[in-house]
Amino acid sequence: MRRDGGVIRHPSPNFGPRRHARPPSLVVLHYTEMRSARAALDRLCAPDAEVSAHYLVGRDGTIWQLVDEDRRAWHAGAGQWRSCDDVNSASIGIELDNDGQSPFSAPLMAALEPLLAGILNRWCIEPGGVIAHSDMAPTRKSDPGPRFDWRRLAQSGLSVWPDHSGDSAHPLAESLDRIGYPPGTEPVRLAAFRLRFRPGATGPECATDRALADALARNCLAFEK
């Protein structure tokens, strides 16, 4: 292990080349759902686990880099975002040390923000390219979950958040398509959208869902890679 500018290098063997020499245009955020950062680090570096990420951010703010950014880490699995169905080749994966139930710690969030800012700057990734694992794999994933503070990232220009007023005439399905959610049943896609932008909301789609999704779709139109 070696420390580079506050980031601990801890190489994982679980990576490969980016297919089609594709540079990253997405950042996918995950939670580890494990008891500790050390347990997550061991798993992400175990050859038989066949899983990894580019970075792991601990609850205490420690950052480990497991895979070089220009390589393909194995973090996203099956899923899709916009027209991309090989998200591993198009993304940088960040695992966050969180059990999936608790609030994300202040040191973790404070470490994540400059890490994200550097990644977006190095690869010219728009804020709309920072997505949840649950966004691109809504039928099987829920991370980083309802406790993650997406609004905070958006306020720092590191993600997106919808601003809206009034109703929208656009159908929800059309807006979700434009945002990038993969094809599927509307209840599943609505649940993924709410998990990130309206945590705790339940029931059938409503005017608030349509207005938020339309506003977000319009804000994200510049992000087309």
- Tell me the catalytic residues: 95
Q: How many helices (H) and strands (E) does the chain have?
A: 8, 9
Length of the chain: 225
What is the three-class DSSP state of 3? strand
Burial 141-171 (b: 16+ CB within 10 A, else e): bbbbbbebebeebbeeebbbbbebeeebebe
Q: Which two tokens stand for residue 152?
A: 């905070």
Count the Cβ atoms, other than its own, within 10 Å of residue 114. 13
Nearest alpha carbon to residue 51 among 18, 90, 77 = 77
